[in-house]
Amino acid sequence: MQATAKRYLALDAFRGATVALMILVNTPGSWQHIYAPFKHATWHGCTLTDLVFPFFLFIVGASLALSGKNKTNDVTPSYIQQVGVISKRAVIIFSIGLFLNAFPFDQNIEQLRIMGVLQRIAICYWFASVIVLTASRYQLRFGVIFAIVFILLSYWWILFITGKGDPYSLVGSSVATLDIMLFGANHLWQGLGVPFDPEGLLSSIPAIASVLIGYQATVYLLASQSIAQVVKQFVLVGILLVLFGGIWSMWLPINKSLWTSSYVLFSSGFALMTLALFIYWVDIRQQQKSVSYLIAMGANPLFLYVISWLWVECYWIIAVSENISLYQQLYAWLNILLSAKSASLLFAILHVSLFTYVAIILKKRHIFIKI
């Protein structure tokens, strides 16, 4: 029987912190009144908010590594069986994402957005899992690392040769072109004034590398005999990735919407350093109590993301007057006492607190909702 790998609570705390930050940036009282760190970069560049999604994908990779190490079954499923299980889970996650896009089911099906956050997670999870399985099956020692390098360089090449004018601009990149061909313009996000999906299909390719980097880092962590040494190495490698991403940005801009290869290195570097901080605080200093609420949130990450989305959407459905929704009214009440931006931030913080409480209750009752 295979031994169960050590469970680092730092990974759970990191996951919980990412979920909390995701709810915070997704739930402002007003999208017109947001402090700069909680906004996405207009196009090129990176803010705190732009690190949330790559952090989550990094953690998807970490979870992939943990699931492989924690198997206690003497009978190993065949390659085809494992791919089947992975495919089923990916389809479920993708379908939940479509459900969220459709909710509250008041829009025409011809206008339904196909892609989204959960859809990208499903795609990246599937491809990363298959890459890991294949590398393991054929004993390719550096297979995952090779895949990361190949994905990042290939995507850079694809953007460069298929773009028009400025291949890294909103109208010049080929990212929207492929999505329009596959899905149609009406099924894409329209938030930038033109049909362009920041979670599109082509830009999901480099996002697979974000998952694989999280996987590779966690495999190294689990195999290490000295977590103190790992912390130092993660900080060093994290700094190098941030530097390399910054240097690469002179030719390939750091851009979340395009999920450029330089952005993958840049964001993964910060993810490694953040994980190192949590390892030091939680697993070396043994300060679990101080982040117990984050550990609770990390126990049910996808569930919390889904219910937070649905909860906020319900605010918009409930009308308190002819032209004002409950969402707008709650913000207006906060805005009486605070400035527009402060009220918007407090609105988000209150919702993070609400779902933190939900997470703590679920964990106390040993309820873990898995997909």
Tokens for 115, please give them.
């892609």
371 falls within a domain: no
325 falls within a domain: yes
3 falls within a domain: no
Collapsed DSSP state (helix, strand, coil) of residue 45: strand
Q: Residue 325 forms beta bridges with which residues?
A: 319
Domain count of the chain? 1
1 falls within a domain: no
Rounded CA gap, 269 and 264, in Å?
8
Rounded CA gap, 308 and 305, in Å?
5
2 falls within a domain: no
What phi-psi label fits residue 6: left (phi over 0), alpha (psi between -120 and 50 degrees) or beta?
Answer: beta
- Distance of alpha carbon 62 from the chain centroid: 12
In tens digits, the chain (371 residues) has pLDDT values of 333 345 689 999 999 999 999 999 999 999 999 999 999 999 999 999 999 999 999 999 999 998 876 555 556 788 899 999 999 999 999 999 999 999 988 888 888 999 999 999 999 999 999 999 999 888 888 899 999 999 999 999 999 999 888 999 998 999 999 999 999 999 999 888 899 999 999 999 999 999 999 999 999 999 988 899 999 999 999 999 999 999 999 999 999 999 999 999 999 999 999 999 999 999 999 999 999 999 999 999 999 999 999 999 998 899 888 789 999 999 999 999 999 999 999 999 999 999 999 999 999 999 999 87
What phi-psi label fits residue 139: left (phi over 0), alpha (psi between -120 and 50 degrees) or beta?
Answer: left
Could you tell me the residue range of the domain that residue 128 belongs to? 9-364
4 falls within a domain: no
209 falls within a domain: yes
| Amino acid (one-letter) located at 189 | W
